[in-house]
């Protein structure tokens, strides 16, 4: 009790202390209110399909990336498979996963936009290196023992 009195007397204008769970809930509510369903364009990467049927991936461009989840019910009606490197436009709910405090997009729908530019650059670079023989088995050397 003395600590509470000391705290309130020492900093009379300090904001209230709130638990992490409340902070995350308030942040999620504000995000969802500020960004109603919207469309976001980017390239699919780091795709992972869970046993539950949910699809987890990142949506990225040259400057940034964001984690995404497409729940099973949405993934089942998509009509095509999301793959790494695809350029898509996703209809999303911007939210915060409260348990971990992770900013993410809940994907409600998606439409194809072609192969992503970053993936195309990767494939061109890979082809160039293959043409130089850098992936050939004959040119590989054993790693030195440490």
Query: pLDDT means per 10 residues in the chain (146 residues)?
Result: 49 84 96 94 97 97 97 93 94 95 96 72 84 82 82
> In the chain, what are the domains?
18-133 (2.40.50.140)
Q: Hey, is 41 helix, strand or coil?
A: strand
pTM beyond 0.75, yes or no: no
Contact 67, 58 (CB under 8 A): yes
What's the pLDDT at 133? 84
User: Which one, of 56, 40, 38, 58, lies nearest residue 48 by Cα?
Assistant: 56
Token pair, residue 107, equals 């994907």
In the chain, DSSP assigns E strands to: 38-49, 55-60, 65-70, 86-97, 102-115
What's the pLDDT at 91? 96
- Chain-centroid distance, C-alpha 78: 19
What's the pLDDT at 5? 44
């Amino acid at each position: 009790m003395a600590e509470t009195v000391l705290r309130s007397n020492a900093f009379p204008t300090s904001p209230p202390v709130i638990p992490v769970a409340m902070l995350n809930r308030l942040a999620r509510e504000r995000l969802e209110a500020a960004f109603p369903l919207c469309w976001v364009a980017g390239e699919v990467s780091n795709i992972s399909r869970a046993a539950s049927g949910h699809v987890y991936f990142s949506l990225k461009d040259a400057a940034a990336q964001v984690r995404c989840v497409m729940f099973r019910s949405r993934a089942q009606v998509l009509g095509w498979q999301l793959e790494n490197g695809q350029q898509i436009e996703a209809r999303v709910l911007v939210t915060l996963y409260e348990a971990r405090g992770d900013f993410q997009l809940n994907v409600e729908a998606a439409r194809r936009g072609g192969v992503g530019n970053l993936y195309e650059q990767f494939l061109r670079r890979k082809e160039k290196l293959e043409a130089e023989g850098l992936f050939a088995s004959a040119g590989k050397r054993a790693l030195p023992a440490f």
